[in-house]
Amino acid sequence: MKTTTSSLSAFGDSSIQTPSKSRIRQGCHSAGPNVSGDHINLVSSSMPSFPILQRSSEEKILYSDRLTLERQKLTVCPIIDGEEHLRLLNFQHNFITRIQNISNLQRLIFLDLYDNQIEEISGLSTLRSLRVLLLGKNRIKKISNLENLKSLDVLDLHGNQISKIENVSHLCDLRVLNLARNLLSHVDNLNGLDSLTELNLRHNQITFVRDVDNLPCLQRLFLSFNNISTFESVCCLADSTSLSDITFDGNPIAQESWYKHTILQNMMQLRQLDMKRITEEERRMASVIAKKEEEKKRESQKQSLLKEKKRLTINNVARKWDLQQHRVTSIAANQDRKDSDSPSQDPCQVDGSTISAFPEETGSLDSALSNALQGLSVTDTHLVEVDGDTLSLYGSGALESLDRNWSVQTAGMVTTVSFTFIEFDEIVQVLPKLKIKFPNSLHLKFKETNLVMLQQFNALAQLRRIDQLTIDPQGNPVVSFTLWKYYVLFRLSHFSMQKINGTEVTQNDMIMAERLFGILAHVASSELPQYRLISILGDARKKQFRYLLETKGKKPGVVSEENNDSKRLVGENTNRATLNYTTRDFYNEKLEEIKEKKKFCKMYIEDLVKEATEINMKNEALQKLWPQMFIELVRDAVIEIRNKSSYMKLCLQQITDQK
């Protein structure tokens, strides 16, 4: 009898080739009635379909425990009489469709039905001693009817049409299970096979494997030529302590770059992979690579967490800003319609555009990541971020960060400063700090900062230098004006800006700016009385300004050199230096302060007027009365002098009286 698997040698019976084989072949005829082989007779029986097998008594004695009927062109199992001691039965290479007529062979240990046409496992319920059952290359669709075969040691079902592993959990002595070349799509239901040492699943359609860790003795698992593509689908293998030999070749997973080291890293107990010994070197490499990947994963998780936090904070700031700008109605606001002529104040509309400007990063967050996020405080009201050369500030609270001690290196690298969700008036107040702490900032960006008037740009003149200015239309109504760019170029001409909102500044732009607003500058400098100029410009610039004004009258040719010098001195085209911007609050404060003075002045002037009117009245009265008074004076004098002698006496007396 041919050995179908190498492991049969464990059985003990090595060469089971019997001389009777040749004899069977010779005597091989169709299983019809009255076949007379040398020693085997297949005669017809009383039952019309089944032939009866008879052996010569010699044969029976020589090979009492084994019977080989391979290639006998059998289509049915013959009735075997008087062979109750039979232990090996070989039906290989026949055309048998059903297992029958062997129930009486209760001593049977080895049954070989390889290469037949059997469609269903049946007729084995009495063979309680059966240890090896070879049913390879048949047409079996389902594993069933093996209930009583509790001693089964080897079960070979390769080359069939089995799609599911089932009804094997009672086979606790089974050591070898061969299900290669079947139609299995997944592996589970393996509990109970407590002795299973080898499981052959080659050439199936398996996509995932489960329950292998329930097999305490499994040493060899062959999964070649299946459909496994991720380690997760076979992750139970990592938990199996007994596995030492595994094959994955012919699976999609074997083509992956991470295949080898992932398997090695997760299955430290392995000794052979794909029929090759695993060396120490390989194991070490695998561990190193696995560690690196772990770190990378952790890094990227951290990054995603940070990004998420940043996004949430920005959203929070945006929401606060919207509320502040009365764009979101949380209350039924009956704003006076006549005040809301301006389109930006539309109280009945949720301005969703603010939030949509920061699109939800819909990357799928791991469950771990989202768990970590639960702990994030979304009460952050501002965000400060330095990213290489850009300093980004979100929310008015962020302005305080300018007070921090920035390292000279970090601060020196910052060339762009971006303000979002902060009122421009608040930004104006920290511009001096910005000038000092970030001296290399050349590009300013403003978004959602409530820039509404051209005048506000005057405040930017105090900075050291600006090369580029970006004013985002969102949240900055000033951009809707036709002339805003020209005004910026005019007022900040001393910066020689290169770009505004991404577009280059051309010579024509500069010329146009000067043409449009040049007169304003001229008026602002030359037509203001001296004292006003000085009060607007403040102490520091007084002298310089006076000097410049004095030299202004000279011819342009001469002036240019001096002007350049003094320009560098002052740092700004002074004829527009008087164009300032004071925030609304400051301005109102100032006006309040002046009120007292105004009151005093009014009273003072009133007093003066009173005085003046009194004097005027007296003057007028005097004017009226003077002629009369004059006449009286003259008359009195004439009367006095009339009598010369008495007048002389009077005078002398007056003189003596005086003494």
Partner 1 sequence: MATERAGTWLPEAGKLELGSCCGPRMLSPERLALTDYEYLAQRHVLTYMEDAVCQLLENKEDISQYGIARFFTEYFNSVCQGTHILFREFSFIQATPHNRASFLRAFWRCFRTVGKNGDLLTMKEYHCLLQLLCPDFPLELTQKAARIVLMDDAMDCLMSFSDFLFAFQIQFYYSEFLESVAAIYQDLLSGKNPNTVIVPTSSSGQHRQRPALGEASMLEGVEASLFYQCLENLCDRHKYSCPPPALVKEVLSNVQRLTFYGFLVALSKHHGINQALGALPDKGDLMHDPAMDEELERL
Site for partner 1 contains 624 (CB under 8 A): no
| Cβ-count burial 609-640 (b if 16+ within 10 Å, e if not) | eeeeeeeeeeeeeeeeeeeeeeeeeeeeeeee
Q: CA-CA distance, 105 to 109, in Å (whole number)?
A: 9
Nearest approach, Cβ of residue 480 and partner 1 (Å): 8
Quick one: 127 or 524, whose CB is closer to partner 1? 524
Containing 514, the helix (H) or strand (E) segment is helix 507-526
Site for partner 1 contains 621 (CB under 8 A): no
* Residue span binding partner 1 (CB under 8 A) among the ranges 177-185, 275-283, 413-421, 523-531: 523-531
Nearest residue to 433 via CA among 409, 393, 399, 385? 399
Q: Among residues 19, 556, 557, 627, which is the contact residue for partner 1, using CB under 8 A? A: 556
CB distance 319 to 355 below 8 Å = yes
Site for partner 1 contains 4 (CB under 8 A): no
Quick one: 213 or 509, whose CB is closer to partner 1? 509
Cα distances from 520 to residues 100, 577, 658, in angstroms, run 115, 11, 74
Site for partner 1 contains 564 (CB under 8 A): no
Site for partner 1 contains 530 (CB under 8 A): yes
Quick one: 231 or 457, whose CB is closer to partner 1? 457
Nearest approach, Cβ of residue 491 and partner 1 (Å): 10
Q: DSSP class of residue 179?
A: -
Phi and psi angles of residue 409, each rounded to the nearest 5 degrees, phi first: -65, -50
Q: Among residues 333, 523, 634, 637, which is the contact residue for partner 1, using CB under 8 A? A: 523
Q: CA-CA distance, 625 to 100, in Å (whole number)?
A: 163
Nearest residue to 446 via CA among 471, 469, 425? 471
Nearest approach, Cβ of residue 372 and partner 1 (Å): 48
Q: CA-CA distance, 570 to 563, in Å (whole number)?
A: 10
* Residue span binding partner 1 (CB under 8 A) among the ranges 9-17, 171-179, 302-310, 602-610: 602-610
**Bridge-partner residues for 68, per DSSP?**
90
* Burial class of residue 34 in the structure, from the number of CB atoms within 10 Å of its CB (0-12 exposed, 13-18 middle, 19+ buried): exposed
Quick one: 168 or 454, whose CB is closer to partner 1? 454
Q: Among residues 48, 529, 557, 627, which is the contact residue for partner 1, using CB under 8 A? A: 529
Residue with tokens 């299946």: 226
Containing 199, the helix (H) or strand (E) segment is strand 198-200
Q: Interaction with partner 1 in 466-485: which residues (CB under 8 A)?
A: 477-478, 480-483
Q: Interaction with partner 1 in 41-100: which residues (CB under 8 A)?
A: none
Distance of CA 204 to the CA centre of its chain: 39
Site for partner 1 contains 557 (CB under 8 A): no
Q: DSSP class of residue 190?
A: -
CB distance 389 to 415 below 8 Å = yes
Q: Interaction with partner 1 in 482-501: which residues (CB under 8 A)?
A: 482-483
Site for partner 1 contains 520 (CB under 8 A): yes
Q: CA-CA distance, 502 to 554, in Å (whole number)?
A: 39
**Bridge-partner residues for 35, per DSSP?**
42
* Residue span binding partner 1 (CB under 8 A) among the ranges 50-58, 78-86, 521-529, 628-636: 521-529
Site for partner 1 contains 563 (CB under 8 A): no
Q: Interaction with partner 1 in 312-371: which residues (CB under 8 A)?
A: 338, 341-343
Contact pattern from residue 364 through residue 403 relative to partner 1, giving x for each residue in contact according to CB under 8 A and a dash for the rest:
----------------------------------------
Site for partner 1 contains 519 (CB under 8 A): yes
Nearest approach, Cβ of residue 638 and partner 1 (Å): 37
CA atoms within 13 A on the CB side of 404: 13
Site for partner 1 contains 622 (CB under 8 A): no
Count of other CB atoms within 10 angstroms of residue 563: 18
Q: Among residues 2, 210, 542, 567, which is the contact residue for partner 1, using CB under 8 A? A: 542
**Given the rule CB under 8 A, which residues bind partner 1?**
338, 341-343, 453-455, 477-478, 480-483, 512, 515-520, 522-524, 526-532, 534-536, 542, 552-553, 556, 578-579, 582, 587, 591, 594, 597-598, 600-602, 604-606, 608-610, 612-613, 616
